[in-house]
Amino acid sequence: MANGERLDAEATALVVFDMQNGQIHVDDRQRQEWLSNSGIVQNCVSLLAAAREGGVPIYYVRNNRRADGLDSAPVLTDRGMGGGSGGAPPYPGWQWEIIKELEPHPEDIVVDKIRMGAFSSTPLDTLLRARKVDTVVLCGVRTTIGIATTVRDGRDLGYNMVVASDATGGIDPEEHEWMIEKIFPIFGRVRTVSDLQSMLSRSAASA
């Protein structure tokens, strides 16, 4: 992190991505281990607290699906994303709810999506531009799927993308680190939660 680097709270938004019961409380021992070892939930809690204190607007992007599958294209792939039984649970339901540790406040905005990224199937871009946001701080799961899609799409839309390296995860740690070290720096900035807390503190001190 560059010395003195700051985030302008008025032009920054925190996007909390897919931090839902069905993504965190998964029936998959290996993914549970990855999630636990990464400390992602507590790090997201800390980042949210810093954003709220700094006056940064918070957007929750929440995955959902129709139970009949009419909102999902039957795309051919060689490998599934894993972490589930293969069929979408009925919506709404417990699986789709934001985890209790990160429960949205009344002033937060919750955006539903039906595709991998935060932008392509949602009004997020319109909502951010309405508040003149040009910088997006991103946390959540999973690094190589929804997070990666959102980083690339956000970059192409002209946003300054900032990935919270220790508040993203939910995948094999080696794959996560490869994205953090090799890919995301091409599309934006990579910072720890501690870095982001300092950047927000400097912004508040200069206001």
For residue 110, what are the CA distances in angstroms to 29, 37, 115, 197? 29, 27, 15, 23
What is residue 91's predicted lDDT score, i.e. its pLDDT? 65
- Whether the CB-CB separation of 35 and 153 falls below 8 Å is answered with no
State the number of CA atoms in the 13 A half-sphere of 157 facing the CB: 21
Q: What is the pLDDT along the chain (207 residues), one digit of tens a residue?
A: 667 799 999 999 999 999 999 999 988 999 999 999 999 999 999 999 999 999 999 999 999 888 788 888 778 888 776 644 455 666 678 899 999 999 999 999 999 999 999 999 999 999 999 999 999 999 999 999 999 999 999 999 999 999 999 999 999 999 999 999 999 999 999 999 999 999 998 877 766
What is residue 1's predicted lDDT score, i.e. its pLDDT? 66
Report the alpha-carbon distance of residue 114 to residue 55 in Å, rounded. Answer: 29
What is the arrangement of strands in the sheet containing 188-191, beginning at the earlier edge strand?
Answer: 109-113, 58-63, 12-17, 135-141, 160-169, 188-191
pTM: 0.93
Q: Domain coordinates of the chain in residue numbers? A: 9-64+89-206
Classified by CATH at the fold level, domain 9-64+89-206 comes out as Rossmann fold (3.40.50)
What is residue 87's predicted lDDT score, i.e. its pLDDT? 58
